[in-house]
Structure formats: structure tokens, C-alpha cells
């Protein structure tokens, strides 16, 4: 009901929603910016949905009280939105959407407006409520962690096109684009497999434990990469590349090293290891990866 249809129909459980009055549609929506009614208390914001669906005022407020209790907000039932924190307001918005028992729940970047600590708490609570939700929920997010934690099935869209879909575990293990590989933290290459050797498009090769033929993807995590200032001897690693340090980025006690050269890749090292190697932009290093730490699969 927010955007008029110009063509086609919207159906849910066999019912055409475009021919159903808005107040009768079994759809709940949670927006990024909460969109609570500023003149209503938290209790009456949640009660608004049941009231629109025909419940009496007392029934609607009783249902709203139950939902606020589930959200841990009973003490804030009489507060108006301006007196609620961002996390509290978003939980009121979620309670308002769920109080109507929708068959479809739409979540539009529901955590984007929250600070990091609040997002962590609300994400955990949202996950619990979605696990108990017996209908369909559709979440739109640009945050890969939100997607991986909250979704059972992912649809990844790049430049307006669906590029991959599947379970979070499957997508994390078998990314099919550089964008997805970056989201899940993998080095990813496309190439031609000939037995245990993959000839990647950059002209280098990657040795794997899988034995395949034809077009494949091969991936490995940055944590699988070991760096050496001198060419290693006696190493059990089957993969060895000469690289140049293109950049370093600190993440807590880890350093992400961007490497260029015959096979561009990322490596994760501890700050101690990076200091011992005296890494800096432009430094030449050798990178090794064990074949057992790579994963190849058909393209």
C-alpha cells in the first residue's frame, strides 16, 4: 500500500493483496527509522495494529502489553517515542508489526540506525523472535553479518541482478562473485581445473586437494596464508607465490595484508608476526598456502 501498483498483482497465500484493504492485509513492516506515532505511548503504538484489525481498545492494549513484555519493555509502556532509546524504539516497532500476527513480515534495514552495541543486542533479540515466527519474513540489509545471522535463505543482489542464493552456510563456503567472497572473508579465484591444479585467470596456479576438470572457483581464507621474507625451504605447503605488500589494515590484534603480484590475495597475521616480518607497503614477500586449506568447486 505504500507504492501504487502499475502492473501485475501481489498475492500472499493465494489472496490478491492489491484488492485487499490495507487494514485487512496480513503484512507487518518494520522500517529503518522506526516510524512510531510520536503522540502515542509505546503501549498504544503496539496496540494500533490490533485495533485496526478489529480488536476492542481493551483487547488491543492487552495484546500490546504481552508483546512489550516479550520485548523486555514493560517498564516503558507509558513512554512516548521521544523518551525511548534507538534500541527500545526499534523493539517497539517490531512488537507493533508482530502484534497483528502477520503472514508476511517485511524488515527494511531494521538495524541500520542503531549504534554498534545496541545493534548487537537487538540483532540477538530479533533472531529469537524470527526463530519463533511461523510465517515468512523478508529482510533487506546491506550488513553481511545481519544477513548471515538472521536469514535461513539468502538472495544476494549486485547491480540490480540476483547473483547467488542459498543457505548462509552454502554461500559462505561457495561464493560465486568477488563481492560475495569479500563479504564472507575469502580469497576467491576463477579458473580452469586440471586434476589438482587450477589455472586461474591471472596466469598463476593454485594446487587443491579436490580433483576436478573444467571451469571452477577456488577459495581460501586469509588466515590460511603464511608470509615469509625469504623463499621458504622445506615447507609442506603446495602453493607458493611471490607477492608485494600493497597495504596493511589493523583489526584489533590482527593485521589484514593486501598483496599484489602473480596472485593478488589477502592475508591475516597477528601484529607480532607482522612486526617480526617488518611488513610495509612495497615490501616483497613469499606467500604459502597448504592445498588442504583451499576449496575448489565447479563454476
pLDDT tens-digit map of 15-54: 888 878 877 888 999 988 889 999 999 999 999 989 988 8
Q: Give the span between the Cα atoms of 83 and 108, in whole angstroms.
A: 23
Given a contact cutoff of 8 angstroms between Cβ atoms, the answer to whether 150 and 139 are in contact is yes
Confidence of residue 187 (pLDDT cuts 50, 70, 90): very high
Residue 54's H or E segment, with its range, is none
Which three-class secondary structure state does DSSP give residue 129? helix
Question: Which of 8-17, 131-140, 218-227 has the lowest average pLDDT?
Answer: 8-17
Task: Give the phi and the psi of residue 193 in degrees, each rounded to 5.
Answer: -90, 140
Q: Give the span between the Cα atoms of 175 and 168, in whole angstroms.
A: 10
What are 213-250's pLDDT values in tens digits? 999 999 999 999 999 999 998 888 899 999 999 999 98
Please state the rounded mean pLDDT for residues 1-28: 83
What DSSP character marks residue 76? G
**Mean pLDDT in the chain?**
91
Confidence of residue 75 (pLDDT cuts 50, 70, 90): very high
pLDDT at 253: 85
Confidence of residue 1 (pLDDT cuts 50, 70, 90): low
Given a contact cutoff of 8 angstroms between Cβ atoms, the answer to whether 212 and 296 are in contact is yes
What are 280-299's pLDDT values in tens digits? 999 999 999 999 999 999 99
In which residue are the cell numbers 593485521 written?
255
What are 85-105's pLDDT values in tens digits? 999 999 999 999 999 999 999
At a CB cut-off of 8 Å and minimum separation 6, what does 244 contact?
259, 260, 261, 282, 283, 284, 285
Check whether 146 has a pLDDT greater than 80. Answer: yes
CATH 3.40.50.300 fits 11-152, yes or no: yes
Given a contact cutoff of 8 angstroms between Cβ atoms, the answer to whether 277 and 227 are in contact is yes
Confidence of residue 170 (pLDDT cuts 50, 70, 90): very high
Boundaries of CATH 3.40.50.300 in the chain? 11-152
Confidence of residue 14 (pLDDT cuts 50, 70, 90): confident
pLDDT at 207: 96
Check whether 113 has a pLDDT greater than 90. Answer: no
Boundaries of CATH 2.40.50.100 in the chain? 222-290
- CATH code, residues 222-290: 2.40.50.100
Amino acid at each position: 500500500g505504500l507504492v501504487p501498483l502499475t502492473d501485475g498483482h501481489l498475492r500472499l497465500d493465494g489472496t490478491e493483496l492489491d484488492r485487499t484493504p490495507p487494514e485487512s492485509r496480513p503484512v507487518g513492516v518494520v522500517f529503518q527509522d522506526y516510524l512510531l506515532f510520536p503522540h502515542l505511548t509505546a503501549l498504544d503504538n503496539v496496540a494500533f495494529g490490533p485495533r485496526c484489525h478489529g480488536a476492542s481498545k481493551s483487547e488491543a492494549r492487552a495484546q500490546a502489553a504481552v508483546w512489550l513484555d516479550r520485548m523486555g519493555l514493560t517498564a516503558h509502556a507509558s513512554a512516548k517515542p521521544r523518551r525511548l532509546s534507538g534500541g527500545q524504539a526499534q523493539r517497539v516497532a517490531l512488537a507493533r508489526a508482530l502484534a497483528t500476527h502477520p503472514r508476511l513480515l517485511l524488515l527494511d534495514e531494521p538495524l541500520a540506525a542503531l549504534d554498534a552495541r545496541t545493534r548487537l543486542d537487538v540483532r540477538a533479540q530479533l533472531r529469537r523472535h524470527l526463530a519463533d515466527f511461523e510465517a515468512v519474513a523478508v529482510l533487506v540489509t546491506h550488513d553481511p553479518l545481519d544477513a548471515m545471522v538472521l536469514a535461513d535463505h539468502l538472495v544476494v543482489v549486485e547491480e540490480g541482478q540476483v547473483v547467488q542464493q542459498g543457505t548462509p552456510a552454502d554461500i559462505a563456503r561457495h561464493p560465486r562473485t568477488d563481492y560475495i567472497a569479500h563479504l564472507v572473508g575469502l580469497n576467491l579465484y576463477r579458473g580452469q581445473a586440471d586434476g589438482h591444479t587450477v589455472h586461474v585467470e591471472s596466469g598463476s596456479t593454485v594446487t587443491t586437494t579436490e580433483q576436478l576438470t573444467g571451469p571452477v572457483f577456488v577459495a581460501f581464507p586469509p588466515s590460511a596464508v603464511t608470509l615469509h621474507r625469504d623463499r621458504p625451504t622445506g615447507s609442506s605447503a603446495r602453493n607458493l607465490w611471490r607477492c608485494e605488500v600493497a597495504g596493511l589494515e589493523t583489526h584489533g590484534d590482527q593485521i589484514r595484508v593486501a598483496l599484489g603480484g602473480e596472485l593478488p590475495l589477502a592475508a591475516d597475521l597477528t601484529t607480532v608476526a607482522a612486526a617480526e616480518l617488518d611488513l610495509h607497503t612495497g615490501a616483497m614477500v613469499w606467500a604459502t598456502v597448504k592445498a588442504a586449506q583451499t576449496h575448489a568447486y565447479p563454476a
